[in-house]
Amino acid sequence: MLCTQPCIRYRSCPNSKQLTANRGLIKVYNEDNTCRAVEVPSDITARDICQLFVLKNHCIDDHSWTLFEHISHLGIERTIEDHESVMEVLSGWGMDTDCRLYFRKNYAKYEFFRKPLDFFPDHMVSISSETNGMVDHSQLIQTFLNSSTCPEIHGHLHAKEQSRKSWKKFYFVLRRSGLYFSNKGTSKEPRHLQFIADFSDSDVYTVLSAKKRHGAPTDYGFCVKSTKGSSGRDMKLLCADDEQTRTCWITAMRLLKYGMELYQNFIQPHQKQKASPMRSISENSLVAMDFSGQKSRVIENPSEAMSVAVEEGLSWRRKSCHRLSGHGSPSTSHSSLLNMALHLGQPWFHSKLSREEAQRIITQQGLIDGMFILRDSQSNPKTFVLSLCHMQKIKHFQIIPVDDDGELFYSLDDDQTRFTDLIQLVEFYQLNRGVLPCKLKHHCARIAL
């Protein structure tokens, strides 16, 4: 029987630029800048590429894996939408430009469908200048998706003046017809609005290191750039005063450009799960069992299954300590050594990571509540730091080791709550908020391609 599926072959990535898009060969980069060259059919989409690498690397497909377009010489990048043709994106790159595809997580990709209030502040949104009415947030996303209506996004932004190094603050208005700025205060009269760009042949990008590279007032830069070519001549550089404002503008521009296609991207994985609930044999064959009695039984209560799993994990640690001690009772020193090393293999632990690098990684993978990294402290080598995102801001919490008669514990609330190791600490705060502003939800993941 002949196979009708497109053939995809993996190759180790050479240093030279021999692999080019015109032969159906693309290079995909990881966060550590290692890459994999892949031969693909010409109609492959960003979602197809992500699925390919998810399967190859045995990742959990939680629909957050994303393909990014990164234009190094301009210092900008954007999410390539799941339905976009990857070869079409590559066709807009110049031959001598340093443009790359990156594969990494983006938990915030469709979060605005779940929590529109977090993305669209009241003071930035209205229905239209004609109705003079405020948006009903329960219908906000629907008005974006409806081709005959559109919320109006408005507010102040800094704009870089053409052929100059200076930035100037203007009042901007985003409508379905395009992006405008007012040349007279906050006036929205047609005679005062000057057209900047539409999105039929433009994309919106995040500007990386806007202050350093472009002299922007803040680092919350973004830009609108034509899809035709990768030069910066036609790039409209903008800058917001805070992350929430930048996120609002970028999200609104994505919705205006793609509309219902974004919603289809969002619901498609969930529809597949409903249509085919048996996603994999191994996944659905795992059930919680109780073997403590004379007869085994399936644990159907999720809460009971969770408590059994936690207790089993703690029991495993106690047995490991016992084995390491080499005699009848667990050795305190060996137990402490084991507890100190248990976290090293966990995907949420990033060893020698600076505060700035932690913030960069969390920002890249999505500023949604519960995104976190646990890392070594740079200022105090014997402590650890939990970097956590809440309300699109990243906060850092110090985890201090506590020595109690030679036994080591960990605490981040001034010794009010103790944990035998960092795994136990993370598991606790995944289930309980405690002193944190929110529960731990998503850890920042790095994989080798």
370-407 residue pLDDT tens: 999 999 998 888 899 999 999 989 999 999 999 888 88
Q: 386 burial class (0-12, 13-18, 19+ CB within 10 angstroms)?
A: buried
**CA atoms within a 13 Å half-sphere pointing along the CA-CB vector of 207:** 28
Of 309, 318, 352, residue with least CA distance to 421: 318
State the DSSP H helix or E strand holding residue 173, giving kind and residue range, or none if neither: strand 167-175
Q: What is the mean pLDDT of residues 222-247?
A: 89
- The per-residue pLDDT of the chain, averaged, comes to 81
For 199: left if phi > 0, alpha if psi spans -120 to 50, otherwise beta; the answer is: alpha
Which residues does 315 contact at the CB level (< 8 Å), separation at least 6? Answer: none
Instruction: Give this prediction's pTM.
Output: 0.75
Write down the residue that tokens 């060259």 correspond to.
Answer: 37
* Other C-beta atoms lying within 10 Å of the C-beta of residue 242: 12
Which token pair is 127? 């229905």
Pick the range with the lowest mean pLDDT from 65-69, 123-127, 331-335: 331-335
The answer to which of 79-83, 159-163, 392-396 has the lowest mean pLDDT is 159-163
- Positive/negative CA dihedral, 194, 196, 201, 204: negative
Q: Which among 40, 34, 35 has a CA at the least distance from the CA of 9?
A: 40
Both tokens assigned to 19: 């692999």
Does residue 14 carry a pLDDT above 60?
no
Which residue from 102, 139, 82, 94 is spatially nearest to 27, judged by alpha carbons?
102
Exposed, middle or buried by CB within 10 Å (0-12, 13-18, 19+), for 34?
Answer: exposed
Pairing of strands 371-376, 384-390: antiparallel
Indicate if the pLDDT at residue 22 is higher than 50: no
Q: In this structure, are residues 420 and 310 in contact, taking their beta carbons and an 8 Å threshold?
A: no
Q: What's the rounded Cα separation, in Å, for the pair 440 and 138?
A: 27
For the ranges 81-90, 324-333, 339-348, which has the lowest average pLDDT? 324-333
Section 240-254 average pLDDT: 95
pLDDT digits 0-9 by tens, 262-318: 999 999 887 765 555 444 433 344 556 666 666 667 766 666 666 665 565 555 444
- Yes or no: say if 227 and 201 are a contact pair by the CB < 8 Å rule: yes
> Which H or E run includes 282?
helix 281-284
Handedness of CA 180, 185, 190, 191 (dihedral sign): negative
What are the tokens at 207?
Answer: 């500007």
Please report the pLDDT score of residue 321 as a whole number.
45
Q: What pLDDT is attached to residue 77?
A: 95
SS3 140: helix
| Cα–Cα separations (whole angstroms), residue 354 to 347, 373, 413 | 17, 11, 22
